[in-house]
Amino acid sequence: MNPTYPFSAVVGLADLKLALVLNAVSSRVGGVLVRGEKGTAKSTIVRALAAQLPQVAVVAGCRFHCDPGAPDPGCPDGPHEPDAAGAMRAASLVELPVGASEDRLVGSLDLERALTEGVKAFEPGLLAAAHRGVLYVDEVNLLHDHLVDLLLDAAALGVCYVERETVSIRHAARFLLVGTMNPEEGELRPQLLDRFGLTVEVRATREPDERAEVVRRRFAFDADPEGFAAHWAAEEAALAGRIARARAALGSVRLPDSRLRQITAVCAGFEVDGLRADLVTAHAAVAHAAWQGRDVVTREDVRVAARLALPHRRRRDPFDAPGLDERLLDELLDQTEPAAPEDPEHPEGPEDPDDSGGPGSSPGRPEGPGDSGGSGAGTGAGDGAPEGAPEGTPSAPEGSGSATGPDDRTQDVAAVGAPFRVPVLKVAGVGAGVAGRRSSGRGRQGRTIGARVPTGAGPAAIDLPATLLAAAPYQLPRGRRGPGLILKREDLREPIREGREGNLVLFVVDASGSMGARRRMTAVKTAVLSLLLDAYQRRDKVGLVVFRGADATVALPPTSSVEAGAARLRTLPTGGRTPLAEGLATAADVLRVERLRDPDRRPLLVVVTDGRATSGGDVTRAAAALAGVTSVVVDCESGPVRLGMAHALALRLGARVLPLESLGDLVRDRRKAS
């Protein structure tokens, strides 16, 4: 097997390296969620870290990686003898593919064999394989909610439970969880975000020299992996040693009460919900102190920990910018700084050039990690508040209010108001799309509504009562004389389940002058934003077609990123004539392409207009091209005299009509409800 790319050789990405190292030092930090664009070597660096983890002793032959010193008493391969033979092996790195089934994740009991052969066979899943190692989930935001729940439960409890019809199995599953996601492709729900210990934003460096160094090293590695690894062996060994020392020292790091109060004050200051943030910050601060060779947690440890532990826990809209307000962080730290230094022998502050950066090479010096050097005086470590920051100048945290937004610069860009709850719009009938929260759908999740002879190669799941019923009539012909049931393969039945599917919600928005004054367009934008937010919560794909002036444009091609949709909406200009037919024709084009790309995902068309076509082609013909698509027309007509054009359009589309005002009448306080 080729050597993995050395951790020390990774250029930049200081926060990510530091977050991974803190998790390697302390298992209580709770994993890392890596957010960022594609092509930032996220998986390379995770693999590199796994190679840095100390080897583990395992009971020979145990598929659940029991520690010979302390085997899992419930191990399905156990019980192990106290003197069971052990073997050393590298900490595992397991990748969970996005399309994995529940069985693949938690393991499976072979019910088919159990029923037909009477054998109890449990096939361990990926959680068992990852025990005492690293579990890596690329694109965790695309994983089905149900799997994310299972995954995070196991990560939190350190135990994997497998429940099947009549059998339950449990085994230990403790691992360092690393998830990555590209926020452009859709967000994780806040309650799932909260369950990752730390988050890091990564983006490839924009610094040409650094980029060149990345490429140079990649070339060198690809040309001669062995030689490259050998070149970095000393740095890697030093890093592994430092991790091991920090692990050993972890238990003796002191977290003074004054520092703990500082942590809780910072968490409260950022308005995080619950206490998980405080716990994770405390664990991360202790781990960072151990990593820096300190035996007492300092302000710098708290600062680093808060910067990594809090960004995803702030109470926020899904459309807020990521990251943490570092100025506020420093203010909070200043306000809660204990009066007397706790450890006069070790004055606080950077003792180490990479104190606030990561392990390994700092961006400025691509030539090596130089961890213990301590020469380059505090590069970038003091970018926080100046030492003697004047006290009692509380500045308002975060930009308050946006009554006069930057939108005022452009005449014809209406602002967007606060989103509100909208009624659930559903696609008619039962689909077979990906699991979600909108329309009825058949899939692997949901409640059982019947049973059938397996349609695939084998049963995806077994419906036990239906299987027994299928076997019952044949017991005598099959020669049954005593009690035991005689089952054959052809008796097996699988459940038919019905749940909810996600859809493609395509918005077709009239941004023409006929939509009236700016205030009206604000109401329209707010309604569309509310519908977008609803789509986000229901795991839909969304797309946005806008028509105004001479033609229609696809402002947002179908995507799972609702943020992108919200951003397009904010800057959407209005005015001009109303080419309604072009809007509908463009929508039909988008749906045709999407049907090829994602055939099982059923569309829901939401046309937001007053229905008044003032230019362009034949609306009747354009509407005919959308026959069979479940549609809703949001009627934006206002004023004392109404033409009812939106109703006419709805008739042509076979659509339901919702007056714009009816959307807004609903609960305005989304936060209160959630």
Active site residues: 276
Least distance in Å: CB of 104 to Zn ion? 20
Q: Does 451 bind Zn ion (CB under 5 A)?
A: no
Least distance in Å: CB of 164 to Zn ion? 20
Query: Which stretch, 54-62, 274-282, 295-303, 446-454, contacts Zn ion (CB under 5 A)?
Result: 54-62
Query: Which stretch, 62-70, 123-131, 555-563, 620-628, contacts Zn ion (CB under 5 A)?
Result: 62-70
Task: List all residues 6 or more positions away from 182 whose beta carbon is below 8 Å from its beta carbon.
Answer: 35, 36, 37, 38, 139, 141
Q: How many residues does the chain have?
A: 674
Q: Is the peptide bond before 79 cis (omega within 30 degrees of 0)?
A: yes
Q: Strand, coil or helix: what is 233?
A: helix
Residue of 24, 45, 62, 581 that binds Zn ion (CB under 5 A): 62
Query: Which stretch, 33-41, 57-65, 202-210, 535-543, contacts Zn ion (CB under 5 A)?
Result: 57-65
* Total number of residues that touch Zn ion (CB under 5 A): 6
- Cβ(569)–Cβ(595) under 8 Å? no
Using the minimum distance from each CB to Zn ion, give the nearer residue, 133 or 502: 133
Least distance in Å: CB of 59 to Zn ion? 5
CA-closest candidate to residue 258, choices 194, 353, 348: 348
Least distance in Å: CB of 35 to Zn ion? 36
First to last CA, the chain: 50
Least distance in Å: CB of 467 to Zn ion? 31
Least distance in Å: CB of 68 to Zn ion? 9
- Cβ(418)–Cβ(526) under 8 Å? yes
Least distance in Å: CB of 67 to Zn ion? 9
Using the minimum distance from each CB to Zn ion, give the nearer residue, 62 or 528: 62
- Cβ(7)–Cβ(239) under 8 Å? yes
Long-range contact pairs involving 564-570 (C-beta distance under 8 Å, separation at least 24):
564/184, 565/507, 565/532, 566/319, 566/416, 566/529, 566/532, 566/533, 567/319, 568/544, 569/416, 569/525, 569/528, 569/529, 569/532, 569/544, 570/407, 570/413, 570/416, 570/525
Q: Report the DSSP beta bridge partners of residue 607.
A: 508, 633
Residue of 64, 175, 291, 507 that binds Zn ion (CB under 5 A): 64
Query: Which stretch, 68-76, 150-158, 229-237, 526-534, contacts Zn ion (CB under 5 A)?
Result: 68-76
- For 306, half-sphere exposure in the C-beta direction (CA atoms, 13 angstrom radius) is 31
Q: Which token pair is 327?
A: 């100025």
Cα distance between residue 674 and residue 668, in whole Å: 12
Using the minimum distance from each CB to Zn ion, give the nearer residue, 78 or 256: 78
Using the minimum distance from each CB to Zn ion, give the nearer residue, 72 or 635: 72
Using the minimum distance from each CB to Zn ion, give the nearer residue, 77 or 463: 77
Dihedrals phi, psi of 466, to nearest 5 degrees: -65, -35
Least distance in Å: CB of 110 to Zn ion? 19
Query: Which stretch, 66-74, 148-156, 362-370, 399-407, contacts Zn ion (CB under 5 A)?
Result: 66-74
Least distance in Å: CB of 81 to Zn ion? 11
Dump the DSSP string for 575-617. Answer: -S---HHHHHHHHHHHHHHHHHHSTTS-EEEEEEE-----SSS
Helix boundaries (H) for 118-204: 126-130, 145-157, 190-193
Using the minimum distance from each CB to Zn ion, give the nearer residue, 72 or 637: 72
Q: Which token pair is 299?
A: 């302000």
Residue of 21, 24, 45, 66 that binds Zn ion (CB under 5 A): 66
Using the minimum distance from each CB to Zn ion, give the nearer residue, 79 or 349: 79
Q: Strand, coil or helix: what is 98?
A: coil
Using the minimum distance from each CB to Zn ion, give the nearer residue, 75 or 646: 75
Least distance in Å: CB of 388 to Zn ion? 58
Q: Which string of x and - marks every residue 366-405 that binds Zn ion (by CB under 5 A)?
A: ----------------------------------------
Task: List all residues 6 or more positions away from 643 whose beta carbon is below 8 Å from its beta carbon.
Answer: 611, 612, 637
Using the minimum distance from each CB to Zn ion, give the nearer residue, 131 or 195: 131
- Cβ(477)–Cβ(514) under 8 Å? no
Q: If residue 633 lies in a helix (H) or strand (E), which one and from where to where?
A: strand 630-635
Dihedrals phi, psi of 585, to nearest 5 degrees: -65, -40
- Cβ(634)–Cβ(660) under 8 Å? yes
Pairing of strands 603-609, 630-635: parallel
- Cβ(655)–Cβ(607) under 8 Å? yes
Using the minimum distance from each CB to Zn ion, give the nearer residue, 55 or 614: 55
Site for Zn ion in 260-279 (CB under 5 A): none
Using the minimum distance from each CB to Zn ion, give the nearer residue, 78 or 513: 78
Least distance in Å: CB of 107 to Zn ion? 13
Burial class (CB within 10 angstroms; exposed 0-12, middle 13-18, buried 19+) of 129? buried
Dihedrals phi, psi of 173, to nearest 5 degrees: -150, 85
Q: Which string of x and - marks every residue 459-498 that binds Zn ion (by CB under 5 A)?
A: ----------------------------------------
Least distance in Å: CB of 27 to Zn ion? 19
Site for Zn ion in 72-131 (CB under 5 A): 75, 77-78
Site for Zn ion in 200-259 (CB under 5 A): none
Query: Which stretch, 70-78, 259-267, 388-396, 451-459, contacts Zn ion (CB under 5 A)?
Result: 70-78
Using the minimum distance from each CB to Zn ion, give the nearer residue, 78 or 576: 78
- Cβ(69)–Cβ(90) under 8 Å? no
Q: Strand, coil or helix: what is 345?
A: coil
For binding to Zn ion (CB under 5 A), which residues are involved? 62, 64, 66, 75, 77-78
